[in-house]
């Protein structure tokens, strides 16, 4: 691989919460290891190439979600990339858009369908710090460190049988509050579920950006993009990142 190409999906509509920073983190961590890495932004109305090495999808509001879902469904590029087992990271609204359906604009909107998940509404917004223990689902089985982020959403995401949670909540709300889980009539384990893993797609409600706060997850994504194991990645000693994690995990 001469250049690691990181696709940044629809930053013009799904860039509300600074989640574009995830692509920056990936590029920087790759470059710090001597790898050539570039960010390829794909804006609304532009085709999504299925030939990139890694994709990032960020968060946004209702109108942005609807526009993003319509574009991605019609284009099909991200779906073709997923079929090639290319790693895809989706944050918050990105999680909802890549699901089967989500609520936005007062109605139910079809999602891209890369994650077996439906998003309904919660009565109270989930906002604040969230921390989880990795579940080891799918290719995230290599994760050993706690995950940390900032959640801010009104959507309650319920996972279907083909998707597994990325993490088990130890602090915060996660995908859905207990009332929404009970309303959906699904397994009570979803009361502590956060994020989703299915195929090559990993999703989370964690902002921060998520990869700045979870360097092990960033390195796992890079490893997957290069066809390597996490253990193959040369460790990076960045004291400020270690200090940030220590502060955010001190609940």
Tens digits of residue pLDDT in 166-191? 999 999 999 999 999 999 999 999 99
Q: Which of 56, 71, 92, 203 is catalytic?
A: 92
Q: Which domain holds residue 201?
A: 4-248
Rounding to the nearest 10 degrees, give the CA dihedral for residues 26, 91, 147, 234.
-10
Q: What is the mean pLDDT of residues 131-140?
A: 98
Q: Are strands 4-9 and 37-42 parallel, antiparallel or unpaired?
A: parallel
Q: Does the annotation count 92 as an active-site position?
A: yes
Say yes or no to pLDDT of 224 above 70: yes
- What's the CA gap between 172 and 146, in Å, rounded? 14
pLDDT score recorded for residue 1: 62
pLDDT score recorded for residue 246: 86
- What's the CA gap between 55 and 53, in Å, rounded? 7
Q: Which of 71, 153, 203, 207 is catalytic?
A: 207
Average pLDDT of the chain, as a whole number = 95
> Is residue 125 annotated as involved in ligand binding?
yes
pLDDT digits (tens, 9 = 90+) for 41-97: 999 999 999 999 999 999 999 999 999 999 999 999 999 999 999 999 999 999 999
Structural domain count of the chain: 1
Cβ atoms of 187 and 157 within 8 Å: the answer is: no
Q: Does the annotation count 207 as an active-site position?
A: yes
Cβ-in-10-Å burial (0-12, 13-18, 19+) of 246 comes to exposed
Half-sphere exposure of 193 (CA within 13 A, CB side): 25
- What's the CA gap between 220 and 151, in Å, rounded? 22
Q: What is the mean pLDDT of residues 23-27?
A: 98
Q: Read off the CATH number of the domain in which 131 is found.
A: 3.40.50.880
pTM of the predicted structure, to 2 decimals: 0.96
């Amino acid at each position: 691989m001469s250049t690691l190409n990181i696709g940044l999906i629809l930053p013009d509509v799904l860039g509300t919460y600074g989640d574009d920073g995830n692509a920056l983190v990936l590029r920087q961590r790759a470059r710090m290891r001597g790898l050539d890495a570039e960010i390829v932004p794909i804006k609304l109305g532009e085709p999504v190439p299925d030939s990139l090495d890694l994709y990032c999808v960020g968060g946004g509001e209702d109108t942005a979600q609807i526009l993003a879902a319509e574009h991605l469904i019609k284009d099909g590029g991200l779906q073709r990339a997923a079929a090639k087992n290319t790693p895809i990271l989706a944050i918050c609204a990105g999680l909802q858009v890549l699901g089967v359906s989500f609520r936005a604009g007062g109605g139910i909107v079809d999602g891209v369908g890369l994650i077996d998940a439906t998003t309904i509404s919660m009565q109270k917004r989930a906002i604040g710090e969230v921390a989880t223990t990795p579940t080891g689902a799918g290719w995230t089985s290599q994760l050993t460190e706690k995950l940390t982020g900032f959640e801010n959403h009104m959507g309650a995401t319920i996972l279907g049988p083909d998707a597994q949670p990325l993490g088990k909540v130890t602090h915060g709300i996660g995908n859905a509050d207990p009332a929404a889980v009970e309303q959906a009539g699904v397994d009570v384990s979803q009361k502590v579920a956060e994020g989703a893993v299915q195929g090559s797609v990993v999703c989370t409600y964690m902002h921060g950006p998520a990869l700045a706060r979870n360097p092990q997850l960033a390195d796992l994504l890079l490893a997957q993009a290069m066809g390597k194991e996490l253990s193959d990645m040369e460790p990076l000693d960045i004291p400020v990142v270690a200090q940030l994690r220590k502060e955010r995990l001190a609940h």
